Structures are given as structure tokens and as C-alpha cells.
Chain A
């Protein structure tokens, strides 16, 4: 048995969710190889080779992989899949886009968003926005798995010295083409790996008011998140959204400000270690999951919080 982990990177570093994915794969105690594709791979291939549990790094360097187009990448993974018992990828938009395409090409059923490895064929995954947990056993010869990063620790980037092997590219499908991207590129920590998150909801009333949360975030080294209502209203960019259909986070501290606590929002943050809610409505469902609830007008409480943190 050998396991393949699909690496997500930004040409400079391996992205954190891949490190959580490696920890999930390592639970099976089998050799793990890492597949890296793109068109600027030197730094990331070296980085992958330093991870203790990685025994080999496969690097596919070619123009057609520059933008992670699933139509180009799925055939590459399909070509090498038979060497592996398991293929793991992070359940990020990158992994969710590519892996089902690979699964269908291989005629295998993917196991999405696992939160626990029970044995080599049995895994636990949330369904119904995390209101139920299903334990599923796969009968497929190769298990294709995406991993919920918050459920596993990050693998260390040291202690390993894997070999790096170049593999040949599979060509351009000609089906789709990258045009442009608009990345938020904030200086703050990434939502999914931040230790502290402060999120705003519809109660923030205005995008400009998010500056209050940003100031607090900067004092605490925190990331800023949002509810869907806040994103839909244009208060915050889409990649701030926490929840069933946004990002799933589990920081040490999650502060929900002006967020009511709909099940779809709770689905994305209820595994946080400590939850704080600031809401003027004492009946708001967010208080049912909050360790510390403050019933207050956020326009009083948040500026006071900011002052007291200085």
C-alpha cells in the first residue's frame, strides 16, 4: 500500500490544508508520496521533500498545470493512480474541483470531507451541514478522499529528505482556459489556519464598519471572517464566508459579532475551541453554542473591546 497526497501550493509554499491532509493520510501508517503540479515547482517540491512522512515527491512541471484546471490535471492523476491504494487531497475549492473528476475517470466513488480515519477503508464525514456524522466504508480498490483540514493537525515541514522525481505531463485538454483572478491577498492569517477569528454578520450594517473588526484582528493577530448575509450584502469579500458552503474553521477563539447563528453558519465554526458571541438579541441561537455571550449593541461593545485591547 502506498498513498498519494495531492499538494496545493501557490508556487512559493505548500498551502496549510495540504499539511493537515498529510496528517490524515499518515494515520494509515503507510508510505506517502506527494504529487505536485504547476509551472514553478522548484521551491514547493523542495518543501514537500522535507516533510517527515513523505517518501517521494512527484513533480509535473508544465504550462498546462499553471492554473489548476481540472480538465488538465485529472488525466495526470488518473495516469498514475493505479500505483496507489489511497489518494488524498485537501477539501478546499482546489481539491473539491479536481478530485471528483479524477474519481469519475477511475470509476470510483469519492469520500468527501473526512474528519476521521477509522481504518484503511472506513472514514467518518459530516453530512447535513454537520448535524449528523456518517461512518462510511468504501468497497472501491482505490480510495479517493478529500480531507477537512480543521479535523487534523498540520504536518511539520522538517525531518524528511524525500527524493524528487519528475513525471511527464499529460497535455492540455483544450477544454478550458484561465482568464484572470482577483485574489484578496490580505496580510492577515488565512481563515482556515488562523488561531483567532473575528467574524461579522448582517448586524455590522455596512462594509465600512468591518474596519472595527479589522483593527481588533490586527491587535490579536487574527483573521477576519463573515456570515453569508454579510458577504451577500457586500460588506466583505466572498472568501471571508464561514459556513456550510463557505469555509470550515476551528480556531482557538472564534468571535461572532452581529451574527444570529443559523445552522449553515454554525456548520462552519462550531468546532472552534472557544466561541464568543456579541449580539443585541439575547434569544439569538448563536448564544446556544457560545462559551461567552455578551448581550450588547455591537456599536458600543466592539469599540470598547478595541480600546481595552490597546
Chain B
């Protein structure tokens, strides 16, 4: 079985994001970029499935600017086998990404697609579910545990009230939550090996997908900042403030 893992290049989660002066977006110049943290977890899960003998090839796919190939390279250094890179002329929405990925899935026929539950830039939380719909496959979102048997995957999902376990037929799309696993670091020998692993570059025009955005961004602004509060000297003072000043208890 093949496993496909879509990986997105995003601003590193430690970076303090800044909105551009002209309100056209956020500042991406000279900002540290990294693989979307959820996608690292997805890659790790694919590696564990392969190591358990339930998969024989892991394919990473990234859509974005040419530097997204570095993101693929990061996943190859973790242990994935090969990459597919689709260069996008502008930012792509989840619907377009899902269509492009579904197209690749039809060519590659993976038994599983494992992706992040959300990209930490757009915070959309859509792509996996959309891909699953377009392929007519089952979906298991927000996974915190996955176990495979012959034709099904048993997935524990993080839901608002607690946890839920479902069984989905394969092929399936699984979107991963933070507690599924701890992604490994790439070792130096694996980083060296990854340099020789193949990345296929596919031209977006050959995929027959209209990627015209449906949403236009009119402006991007900073949220209101909270005004700095005060330090209180004791529990006593805290309670007085909450009762008499803030009147919240």
C-alpha cells in the first residue's frame, strides 16, 4: 500500500506574525518558514505504518512556491520515499488544493491519505474533508489514534465532548490532531540520503484544475491589542479587584 501525505510550507509556529502596512496580507519576506506542524505528525504516522509493515511507499505532495520543495525535502529526511511538487502561481485555497491532490491521488492510488487537520496559516481546517468528498472516500478527522486492519482503519477522533472511535473503509483520508504522535527529528545521515530521493515536478496546467480563488481577500488587519493590565500584590487584592472593579465574581 502507498500512503500519500500532503505537506504545506507555512510560517514557523514560533514566529510572531506581522500584518503588512498596506493591509494586503501578512509579511512573508525574511520570515522563517517550516513544515506545517500537523503535517509533521502526518508524516510521522505514515512512517510508523510503514515501519509496522502495513505500507511500502510514502509519497509527499506539496503545492506552493518553489521553496515548498524544501518542505518536501524535510519530510524525505524524516524517512518518506519520494515527493511530488506542484508549483502554484498564487496562493491556493483549500478547494483548489483538494482538487489538485485528488487528481494526484487518482494517479497514485494510495490506500491512505494522511494530512494535517489544519494549516496554521489559513487555519481553514478543510482540505482533508474536501479531498475525501471529491474522491468519494471515507474520512476520519482529528485523529489521536490510528490502527489498521485488512480493509479498514480504526480511528479515535478528538471531538468537543471527548473522544470518539470510528471504523472507516480504506481508501480513506485521515486528518491528524496534535496528540497522535511526536514527530521524529531527521538524523544527519537521513538528511544526506534525502538529497538523493526523487521529487517529481508536475506543472499545474497538466492537471486540468481551475484554481481561480472563490474568496477574495479585501483586507488583512491586526486584531485589537489588549491594553496592559496591572500586577496585584496578593490574592486578597486580586479578589477585591475582581469583585469591586471588574465585577466578574
Complex interface: stretch among B55-63, B136-144, B190-198: B136-144
Q: A271 CB to closest chain B CB, in angstroms? A: 9
Interface 1/0 per residue, A145-188 and B, CB below 8 Å: 00000000000000000000000000001111111111111000
Q: Which residue of B lies closest to A118 (CB)?
A: B218
Q: Which residue of B lies closest to A267 (CB)?
A: B123
Contact A101–B129 (Cβ < 8 Å): yes
- On whether A239 and B158 interact (CB within 8 A), knowing A100-B126, A132-B220, A292-B242, the answer reads yes
CB of A105 within 8 Å of the partner chain? yes
Q: A173-B138, A232-B179 are in contact. List 9 more A-B contacts (CB 8 A).
A: A93-B159, A100-B125, A104-B133, A112-B123, A126-B223, A137-B218, A181-B162, A293-B232, A309-B239
Contact B160–A94 (Cβ < 8 Å): yes
Interface 1/0 per residue, A112-127 and B, CB below 8 Å: 1100000000100011
Q: B148 CB to closest chain A CB, in angstroms? A: 15
Contact A184–B248 (Cβ < 8 Å): no
Interface 1/0 per residue, B8-21 and A, CB below 8 Å: 00010100110100
14 residue pairs from A and B, CB less than 8 Å apart: A69-B166, A93-B159, A96-B125, A99-B129, A101-B139, A127-B220, A133-B223, A136-B218, A137-B215, A175-B137, A185-B161, A238-B163, A292-B229, A292-B232
- On whether A295 and B231 interact (CB within 8 A), knowing A104-B134, A128-B11, A138-B214, the answer reads yes
- Report B89-118 residues with CB < 8 Å from chain A CB: 93-95, 98, 117-118
Contact B16–A131 (Cβ < 8 Å): yes
**Distance in angstroms between the alpha carbons of A308 and B235 in the assembled complex:** 8
Contact A109–B94 (Cβ < 8 Å): yes
**Distance in angstroms between the alpha carbons of A285 and B124 in the assembled complex:** 26
CB of A247 within 8 Å of the partner chain? yes
**Distance in angstroms between the alpha carbons of A13 and B24 in the assembled complex:** 43
Residues in chain A within 8 A of chain B (CB atoms): 67, 69-71, 74, 92-94, 96-105, 107-113, 122, 126-140, 173-185, 192, 196, 220, 228, 231-232, 237-239, 244-245, 247, 252-253, 263-264, 270, 273-276, 282, 287-296, 301, 304-305, 308-309
- Kindly list chain A residues whose C-beta atoms are within 8 Å of the C-beta of B204: none
- Kindly list chain A residues whose C-beta atoms are within 8 Å of the C-beta of B138: 71, 173, 175-176
Contact B122–A127 (Cβ < 8 Å): yes
**Distance in angstroms between the alpha carbons of A180 and B210 in the assembled complex:** 40
- Kindly list chain A residues whose C-beta atoms are within 8 Å of the C-beta of B16: 131, 263
- Kindly list chain A residues whose C-beta atoms are within 8 Å of the C-beta of B178: 228, 232, 245
Q: B217 CB to closest chain A CB, in angstroms? A: 6
Contact A130–B162 (Cβ < 8 Å): no
- Kindly list chain B residues whose C-beta atoms are within 8 Å of the C-beta of A275: 226, 229
Q: Which of B166, B215, B221, B226 is A136 in contact with, Cβ under 8 Å?
A: B215
CB of B34 within 8 Å of the partner chain? no
CB of B154 within 8 Å of the partner chain? yes
Interface size on B, residues (CB 8 A): 78
Contact A252–B126 (Cβ < 8 Å): no
- On whether A289 and B226 interact (CB within 8 A), knowing A93-B159, A131-B17, the answer reads yes
**Distance in angstroms between the alpha carbons of A18 and B216 in the assembled complex:** 27
**Distance in angstroms between the alpha carbons of A181 and B232 in the assembled complex:** 43
- Kindly list chain B residues whose C-beta atoms are within 8 Å of the C-beta of A98: 129
Q: Which residue of A lies closest to B131 (CB)?
A: A104
CB of B202 within 8 Å of the partner chain? no
**Distance in angstroms between the alpha carbons of A192 and B231 in the assembled complex:** 27
- Kindly list chain A residues whose C-beta atoms are within 8 Å of the C-beta of B128: 100
In this complex, which of B11, B93, B223 has the most chain A Cβ atoms within 10 angstroms of its Cβ? B223
In this complex, which of A96, A113, A275 has the most chain B Cβ atoms within 10 angstroms of its Cβ? A96
- Kindly list chain B residues whose C-beta atoms are within 8 Å of the C-beta of A127: 26, 121-123, 220
**Distance in angstroms between the alpha carbons of A136 and B185 in the assembled complex:** 37
- On whether A180 and B246 interact (CB within 8 A), knowing A136-B216, A292-B229, A293-B229, the answer reads no
- On whether A287 and B231 interact (CB within 8 A), knowing A93-B160, A108-B214, A183-B162, the answer reads yes
Contact B229–A132 (Cβ < 8 Å): no
Q: Which of A93, A263, A295 is B158 in contact with, Cβ under 8 Å?
A: A93
- Kindly list chain B residues whose C-beta atoms are within 8 Å of the C-beta of A122: 218
Q: Which residue of B lies closest to A253 (CB)?
A: B248
Q: B167 CB to closest chain A CB, in angstroms? A: 5
Contact B139–A103 (Cβ < 8 Å): no
Contact A178–B139 (Cβ < 8 Å): no
- Kindly list chain A residues whose C-beta atoms are within 8 Å of the C-beta of B19: 131-132
CB of B177 within 8 Å of the partner chain? yes
CB of B188 within 8 Å of the partner chain? no
**Distance in angstroms between the alpha carbons of A104 and B94 in the assembled complex:** 10
- On whether A177 and B229 interact (CB within 8 A), knowing A109-B95, A128-B26, A184-B162, the answer reads no
